[in-house]
Amino acid sequence: MILIKTPQEIKIMEEGGKLLSKVMAELGKMVKPGITTNELNRAAEALISKLGAKPNFKGYGGFPAALCVSINEEIVHGVPSQRVLKNGDIISLDCGLIWKGFHSDMAFTLGVGDIDPEAQRLIRTTKKALKRGIANLKPGNTFGDVGNAIERHIEGQGFGLVRDLCGHGIGRDLHEDPKILNYGKRHKGLEIKKGMVVCLEPMATIGDYHIKTGRDGYSFETRDGSLSAHFEHMLAVTERGCQMLTEIPFYAKIY
């Protein structure tokens, strides 16, 4: 069942989204060669606590950390460890928190030091695909319109589109209905309605789109070992379109 949020509930989620954006901006500044993914996770948990919120990933389905850190061929849900970031890696940070009983969730991918031009193009393409999806998130459209916009942009740039993972509704639970595919047919699927709050999150690969479970038991990786990128925003559907509840200002001009 899709839960429509009241204006008051959306206001609370907007507050939570702004807090999470602050956390993610600080984490993004920390990404550099030599830092471990455990250090990033400890920083995420400390920042969330300092803001008076609670991490929502830690303990969710047994996940052991507040932050998902996925590197290179890892697509999502990477578990922080003593792994040290190296120049040329690309890294996806995915984090969430609970504020006044409501969840927030967001993710982005960026390079570590100097990265390959094709990796840069992958990141740019995935980020722009999210923008294309957001532009179609408005009342009267369908989630097929959203998925189709994402699909056409990623595949049009020659990249693989991850099909076995998807976006989702969000609210008092981290994952609510509907499941939002990153592909689809225009004018097909569920109708988008005012008051829905959702997370759009395209995932793209340089190679094949098929995935496998990682060694940590939580992450998903590209089956062929190719690089992947992931972006996610939390959005509320309004009368005329949608309101972005999360934002990541620090990376806006990187790629």
For residues 196 and 236, is the Cβ–Cβ distance under 8 A? yes
User: Phi and psi dihedrals of 97, rounded to 5?
Assistant: -150, 165
Per the domain annotation, does 1 fall within a domain?
Answer: no
Residue 172 inside a domain? The answer is yes
What is residue 109's DSSP assignment? E
- Domain presence at residue 27: yes
Q: What is the count of structural domains for the chain?
A: 1
The rounded distance, in Å, linking the Cα atoms of 176 and 213 is: 23
| Burial of 39 per CB tally in 10 Å (0-12, 13-18, 19+) | middle
In a domain, 186, yes or no: yes
CATH number at residue 21: 3.90.230.10
Q: Measure the CA–CA gap between 204 and 108, rounded to whole angstroms.
A: 12
Q: Which structural domain, as residue segments, surrounds residue 213?
A: 7-251
Tell me, yes or no, whether 231 lies in a domain.
Answer: yes
pTM given for the model: 0.95
Q: What residues of the chain score a pLDDT lower than 50?
A: 251-255
Q: How far apart are CA 71 and CA 160, in angstroms?
A: 17
Going 58 to 180 to 26 to 37, the CA torsion angle's sign is: positive
Nearest to 184 by CA among 132, 242, 220: 132
Helices (H), 51-167: 117-135, 143-156
Per-residue pLDDT reduced to its tens digit, 28-84: 999 999 999 999 999 999 999 999 999 999 999 999 999 999 999 999 999 999 999
Please indicate, yes or no, if residue 77 is contained in any of the structural domains.
Answer: yes
Residue 249 confidence (pLDDT):
57
Q: Where are the beta strands (DSSP E) in 14-165?
A: 54-55, 67-71, 74-76, 90-99, 102-111, 160-161
Identify which of 94, 118, 114 has the alpha carbon closest to the alpha carbon of residue 104.
Answer: 94
Q: Is 2 a member of any domain?
A: no
Who contacts 69 (Cβ-Cβ below 8 Å, separation ≥6)?
A: 37, 40, 41, 78, 79, 80, 91, 92, 93, 94
The reported pLDDT for the residue numbered 254 is: 41
- pLDDT in the model for residue 253: 39
> What pLDDT is recorded for position 247?
86
Looking at the domain assignment, is residue 65 inside a domain?
A: yes
Q: Residue 167 forms beta bridges with which residues?
A: 180
CA separation for the pair 2, 179 (Å, rounded)? 10
HSE, CB side, 13 Å, CA atoms: give it for residue 237.
Answer: 26
In the chain, the amino acid numbered 2 is: I
Find all residues with CB under 8 Å of 64, minimum gap 6, and list them: 58, 79
